[in-house]
A and B are shown apart, each in its own frame.
Chain A
Amino acid sequence: MNATPVRTGRRRGHRERAMVPEAEFTSYYGRPIVKPSPWGPDIPAYLFLGGLAGASSLLAAGADLSGNGALRRPARVTALAAILGSFAALVHDLGRPARFHHMLRVAKVTSPMSVGSWILVAYAPMAGLAAAAEFRRLLPGRLGSGRVLPGLGRAAGVVAALLGPAVASYTAVLLTDTATPSWHEGRRDMPFVFVGSAAAAAGGMGMLRTPVTHARAARRMAVGGAMLDLAMSARMESAMGLSAEPMRQGTAGRFRTAARALTATGAVLGARGRASEPGGIVPGGDRAAGRFGVHAVRHLSCRPAVRTRSPLHRGTSTRTPPAELTATGSSTSYESPPGHPASRCPPHRGRRGVPRPRRPAPPAGATSPRAP
């Protein structure tokens, strides 16, 4: 059997071209081919906080330059708090947290995580300096009362605002530069979803902490961000085809539904320009739910049925196997029938997908031979 007729034959609307008998689903005991990322809830929390910080710095710089102190203050504080939370989450998720500084050994453009580390290292001190300007009255002497710190804060705030969009958008590349189908296939639109929800979250936080009369720009940002988020999410899902399926199932699906409802509600409340405070919570919740949803997709996405039919693994290569090598014998379908055990995701029990008895605890003082 040649693999090619199967592939064209499976395409919707061309079933009459199937020249091979309908075959049983092939996989290796229904196991996923690729491994899901080992990242825990720290990472979606970071995706949320990083975007919130980046877009808040934009809001703070805009408020500063337009003389809107009531918006500038909470936005600067939010940016600093969110980026500190980001660092905590990122370090906590490492297998060896004490080696977090190894991220700065090299600078690699092929590694979004390396690029992101350097972006954060540049951004965080600027956000910190801008926030410090808000707390200058706590400082003693001339440093607290002079004009040095506000000026420094403004300059740092502008630099943070220029780096902020990078903080908010690089995280999409972090996810899409993987072999996880539901991440990789969203690579065209995911950065826009991420910056949209970042703007919505920062705008929402600004609305929450600012009197209604001073929160117009925050409302605009929240509404614009929410609209961008909704539009690009819809576009991303329709473009992803089969790889978008896991986003509609299980935990990821519930997060996604919640995110959409919150985004739409937030956009309406923000657009009406009233009810500033409850309206502010909503877009923030949206971003959180959205990022946790995108993250939760990873296990489902690695199941074989999605995996082997993903364009990442077929169709994108111009290579065709020599006819004599594939000419005969095996019959393969790329789709698992509904209800086939392989169409379900293996349980999230580490990589195995197979329940195993717990290993007995090593005796005290024993270390793993692989531990350096």
Chain B
Amino acid sequence: MSNRQFGTQDPATAAGYPHPPARKGFFTDTSVCIGCKACEVACKEWNAIPEDGMALTGHSYDNSVGLGASTWRHVAFVEQRKQLGQMPPSLDHAGLDVLALAGGPDPAAAPVGLGMPAMALPGAAPAQERVPFRWLMESDVCKHCTHAACLDVCPTGSLFRTEFGTVVVQDDICNGCGYCVPACPYGVIERPDDAAVGVAQKCTLCYDRLKGDLEPACAKACPTQSIQFGDLDELRERARRRADTLHDAGVTDARLYGHDPEDGVGGTGAFFLLLDEPEVYGLPPDPVATTRDLPQMWRRAGLAAVTLLAGAIAAFAGEVRR
């Protein structure tokens, strides 16, 4: 078997669609995410996913913990003692009056007490008391890989490739074997413990909305365009320009993740602009579709089977017919 699937970059055509529409995907730009979780809510509302517990985790603002059967969009929150950009430490903002610059109310007027806790103006504290701080937020989602391990290992054909190049579970076909769960290199898909459901679940990239020429619910709801939906080729180009802009602005941490068609999953349909290492967001640094090694595994299993057969013949060597 010559892993034919690892050559292709057009999954819909490879899946047999004669004239598929342009491949669709998400570009999630975490540099403008404000952590509002509108995407999580919109996803649950549109797809009618049940709530998944109302507990507080203490992990910043993240209480939905991770992607799973009942969380198809998940916003990660990371608090870091680090500056957002690479500002020169000599730069002094003490004399900067942003309100005057913006033409706001006269800063000299006496402030009106509202009974709120007292707080100083930003930058009023002495420099040595300030700590660098940045708050990373990232809306995670199924990556809709070019080479999707979950799709490869599904024994029922429940997981399938749509004409938009996305990967979707047919929940009337899935028999809940659970094989896709350990196959996914990102830990996205999940079979819920709830026996009433019993089938694997994950993001569909709103297949039903795409069919009706609508953009997915999460992208529609995103107020800052952190989640951008569109044709994958165009999104990749847009992402490259955005990364260049950020680098020019001094945000040298910015990097694209999942945009590269040469990576272990052939590039992803949903890719990201991150501001730190992927591990910081709970993403694998170098994901590989496990089925890439499948030809080797079948060869070894075949060799082992022959070994067992030969061993059994040897065990009966010299046994006379009685």
Contact = CB atoms under 8 A, between A and B. Distances in A.
Interface string A98-124: 011011011011111110010000000
Interface string B252-278: 111110001011100000000000110
Contacts of B62: 29
A275 interface: no
Given A95-B199, A192-B304, A228-B311, A177 B316 contact: no
A117 B155 CA distance: 8
A55 B189 CA distance: 35
A93 B198 CA distance: 10
Interface stretch (A138-146, A180-188, A252-260, A281-289): A180-188
B305 A169 contact: yes
B174 A96 contact: yes
B321 A177 contact: no
B315 A95 contact: no
Contact of A325 (B256, B283, B308, B320): B256
Contacts of A329: 82, 86, 252-253, 276
B279 A95 contact: no
Nearest to B188: A35
B167 to A, nearest CB: 14
A73 interface: no
A81 interface: no
Contact of B294 (A36, A177, A224): A177
A37 B178 contact: yes
Given A194-B304, A351-B190, A372-B172, A316 B286 contact: yes
A195 interface: yes
Contacts of B315: 59, 62, 203, 217-218, 220-221, 224
Given A34-B185, A35-B182, A187-B296, A28 B280 contact: yes
Nearest to B62: A29
Interface residues of B, number: 105
B94 interface: no
Contacts of B247: 324
Interface string B150-191: 001111111000000000000111111111011111110111
A33 B187 CA distance: 6
Nearest to B172: A372
Contacts of A367: 196
Contacts of B243: 325
Contact of B178 (A29, A39, A110): A39
A165 B285 CA distance: 38
Given A58-B309, A62-B315, A66-B320, A95 B176 contact: yes
Interface residues of A, number: 117
B316 A66 contact: yes
Interface stretch (B10-18, B28-36, B50-58, B122-130): B50-58
A187 B93 CA distance: 58
Nearest to B295: A109
Given A33-B284, A110-B152, A325-B254, A187 B185 contact: no
Contact of A326 (B190, B255, B296): B255
Given A117-B155, A312-B290, A368-B50, A100 B175 contact: yes
Interface string A158-187: 000110111011101110111110011001
B279 A106 contact: no
Contacts of B181: 35-38
Given A27-B279, A326-B255, A369-B48, A38 B178 contact: yes
B182 A179 contact: yes
Contacts, number: 347
B182 A330 contact: no
Contacts of B276: 329-330
A110 B175 contact: no
Interface stretch (A149-157, A261-269, A353-361): A353-361
B197 interface: yes
B177 A33 contact: no
Nearest to A174: B179
Interface centre among B55, B86, B280, B319 (most CB of A within 10 A): B319
A359 B199 contact: no
B4 to A, nearest CB: 10
Interface string B1-25: 1000100000000000000000000
Given A319-B263, A328-B252, A314 B286 contact: yes
Contact of B283 (A33, A177, A184, A194): A33
A74 interface: no
B298 interface: yes
A308 B285 contact: yes
A34 B186 contact: yes
A190 B303 CA distance: 11
A279 interface: no
A308 B279 contact: yes
Nearest to A356: B53
Contact of B303 (A33, A191, A304, A326): A191
Given A110-B294, A307-B284, A368-B50, A66 B319 contact: yes
B291 A317 contact: no
Given A66-B321, A67-B321, A192-B304, 20 more contacts: A26-B280, A27-B279, A34-B187, A95-B197, A96-B199, A97-B175, A110-B153, A173-B294, A178-B183, A178-B290, A192-B303, A195-B307, A203-B315, A307-B284, A308-B285, A312-B185, A317-B288, A351-B66, A354-B57, A372-B171
20 contacts: A3-B285, A34-B185, A35-B184, A58-B312, A97-B175, A103-B156, A106-B155, A106-B157, A165-B305, A178-B153, A190-B300, A218-B315, A224-B311, A225-B311, A313-B264, A313-B285, A327-B252, A352-B65, A354-B55, A368-B197
10 A-B pairs closest in CB distance = A95-B176, A28-B282, A95-B198, A191-B304, A165-B305, A99-B175, A325-B255, A114-B155, A113-B155, A178-B182
Interface of A: 3, 26-29, 31-39, 54-55, 58-59, 62-63, 65-68, 93-97, 99-100, 102-103, 105-106, 108-114, 117, 161-162, 164-166, 168-170, 172-174, 176-180, 183-184, 187-192, 194-195, 198-199, 203, 216-218, 220-221, 224-225, 228, 298, 302, 304, 307-308, 312-319, 321, 324-330, 332, 350-357, 359, 367-372
